[in-house]
Chains A and B, each alone.
Chain A
């Protein structure tokens, strides 16, 4: 019998709040975080809305309390803040008491600083400050978070585009189940960069009016930034403390759509497989899913194929479903972590979060998303989807303990 995976803490920072309580308050108030671009120097500043974390790097530095011990990308600051909050909320005082790991995820790592370097470097290969480029790789933010939290036993980074942090949660769960670690901090982080703004803009999938997931007139995604982390613990670690457990990870499934580098297969084969695997792993019937926190980016392609895959799994009885990306934007490598925290909040609060900006039902789908905050709902199992470039699809199931 595999070890049960207990979730004992959650930490988050996003456009709708700098910590768990602020984010929760925004969810309850249906207050989304999409707005005008203020932090980046882009020609699209007034044209393309984004979901920025409402703090400058200096402000983040002071929240993170990093002092002067190194060079930080925005990504690592966001990661440190959310990761530390998860550890604190789990009531962990001595991190070295049990074998503890950190699995973080990111898609562009320290690109925010690399961009500062590169514009000078392009003009002259001897230009550009080196301190702006040493944080470029994916491992940098992870090692900064590990250092901030005092984690050394097992540290790694996953980078599978937009499903990255869902895969971090999946891996962390398996490390606990296999008895390799007793405790693991899992999640992901990304910051908004010129690289990703221009990347998605070149694909013409950024909605100039802010994303409208699952709406017939949706016109693309909105980029966001932030971080979301969970503390997972084994029975052994738990017994020592007898602490509060907001939820458990009961199911996970990873599959590859193997259809196209960026587009999903017409019937959402990869999405169907990852959801099916997660439900089988959880050992529950599909009707036991109380709420689906969909990937729901707001692109034509994703919402159609994800919706179809959901209908293939649930038939005519699709559980309440929403995408929270109209709150936070699409936070790429952080999305799975942020939405895992939303799933835990849903279980803790017994609430369903609304799919903001929804007006018109999609012609191809039989269901419509939850559009208003729903309270006093019996939330037992939440299915969370994260799908990425390359057809990397991952589904997770979080359950009430």
Chain B
């Protein structure tokens, strides 16, 4: 199974939405504990009459999806598949709060209607009038990977020629406050670009949306290929994980989900000492923060690196020279429970 990438668009704490070249102008955030997306002007993409009813995550998701479609040159995808770890958190919280604040009386249904995980995939279909296959995954650090696997299967089954696949997760003040109490985040404020220098527990919170236009056949628009997607739930041992990674073959570059959390990063370090020994390594979470679907941001980086045949300095973890980047492996884990590996190559 494979899928060609013909277009992509990401809204993130970096300038990914507007930039022509990958990480041309890196955004540095000082004294922060979380990163928020740089939101674009939506009016060029979504009718203001429509967008005023949308929550922030719906706007970000729909906008990046529509730009992705525009860039890929296709008119309408045959299928729309999304992944989101936490779904539409703002609307969920808003409706939940209204239940208690109004003692269950005279509630505004809009946040309830827009609270379901499939809201963004459905909104895109509604705008594009796309009656094709439509699905949404919501499973922690597997959400985006599951959407990708579904898309690759649909292409193999020849049920679709072009598929829009995307991921979305938003950070709200309540989500930050609650996960902070759960100990997810570093207690000190940091400079994001030096995330890896703060050797302490936790990481920085992030968010983002990223969409990809995938096709079954290679076209003149194709600039990268997704070769495989693997997920591992609580791998019993590092050995098992390594054996499985080995099957994908040796990459020219590995992009790791290192996030500055000393305990969790040990997994990456061991793999770098093990099967990935000598493989040039890069990282990305200092650019976007930690969230359930951060691997979608990593995929945008990997595809960009392959397209431009250049690893942005800010992503490099070592000085191992990289030449001829044909195969890039993305390896990530979310809180040491959801591990995933995505292999991307030139096409």
Contact = CB atoms under 8 A, between A and B. Distances in A.
A257 B131 contact: yes
> Which range holds the interface residue count of chain B?
35 or more
Given A118-B96, A202-B112, A390-B119, A256 B142 contact: no
B337 interface: yes
A248 B80 CA distance: 27
Given A198-B112, A203-B113, A155 B104 contact: no
Interface string A152-188: 1011111111000001000100110110100000000
Contacts of A121: 174, 178
A255 B133 contact: yes
Interface string A236-272: 0000000000000000001111111110000001100
A256 B122 contact: yes
Interface in A267-283: 269-270, 273
B134 interface: yes
A198 B96 CA distance: 9
Interface in B122-156: 122-123, 125-126, 128-140, 142-143, 146, 150, 153, 156
Contacts of B126: 258-261, 391
B86 interface: yes
Interface string A290-311: 0000000000000000000000
B220 interface: no
B14 interface: no
A73 B108 CA distance: 27
Contacts of A98: none
B108 A202 contact: yes
Most buried by B among A122, A126, A194: A122
Contacts of B130: 256, 258
Interface SS majority for chain B:
mixed
Contacts of B99: 115, 194-195, 198
A18 B107 CA distance: 34
B85 A139 contact: yes
Contacts of B137: 156-159
Contact of A390 (B116, B139, B150): B116
B162 to A, nearest CB: 15
A107 B234 contact: no
B101 interface: yes
A261 B134 contact: no
A175 B146 CA distance: 12
A42 interface: yes
Interface in B167-218: 174, 177-178, 181-182
Contacts of B134: 160, 254-256, 390-392
Contacts of B125: 256, 258, 390-391
B72 interface: no
A43 interface: yes
Contacts of B337: 143
B20 interface: no
B132 A125 contact: no
Contacts of A42: 104
B121 interface: yes
Given A122-B101, A261-B122, A202 B109 contact: yes
Contacts of A107: 116-117
B100 A262 contact: no
A384 interface: no
Contacts of B233: 143, 146, 152, 155
B235 to A, nearest CB: 8
A146 B133 CA distance: 27
A44 B143 CA distance: 35
Nearest to A157: B139
A119 interface: yes
A211 to B, nearest CB: 19
A160 B95 contact: no
Interface stretch (A56-64, A130-138, A351-359): A130-138
Interface in A349-401: 388-392
B136 A389 contact: no
Contacts of B107: 198, 201-202
Most buried by A among B80, B113, B174: B113
A91 interface: no
Interface residues of A, number: 61
A142 interface: yes
B131 A142 contact: no
A146 B234 CA distance: 11
B231 A118 contact: no
Given A194-B104, A256-B125, A159 B116 contact: yes
Nearest to B84: A159
A159 B131 contact: no
A114 interface: yes
A178 B153 contact: yes
A122 B115 CA distance: 19
A391 B135 CA distance: 11
B117 A171 contact: no
A178 B112 CA distance: 37
A159 B146 CA distance: 12
Given A159-B116, A256-B131, A256-B134, A43 B139 contact: no
A261 B142 contact: no
Interface string B81-94: 00001110000100
B116 A43 contact: no
Contacts of A174: 153, 157
A43 B103 CA distance: 8
Contacts of B338: 139
A218 B327 CA distance: 59
B114 interface: yes
A199 interface: yes
B118 interface: yes
B87 A138 contact: yes
A278 B294 CA distance: 35
Nearest to B231: A154
B104 A156 contact: no
Contact of B132 (A167, A256, A390): A256
A161 B182 CA distance: 28
Contact of A392 (B118, B143, B156, B174): B118
Top 10 nearest A-B pairs (CB, nearest first) are: A390-B122, A199-B112, A159-B117, A139-B140, A157-B139, A202-B109, A256-B134, A138-B138, A159-B138, A156-B146
Given A159-B136, A195-B95, A392-B122, 12 more contacts: A118-B97, A139-B139, A143-B337, A155-B139, A157-B137, A161-B118, A174-B157, A180-B153, A273-B131, A389-B113, A390-B121, A391-B126
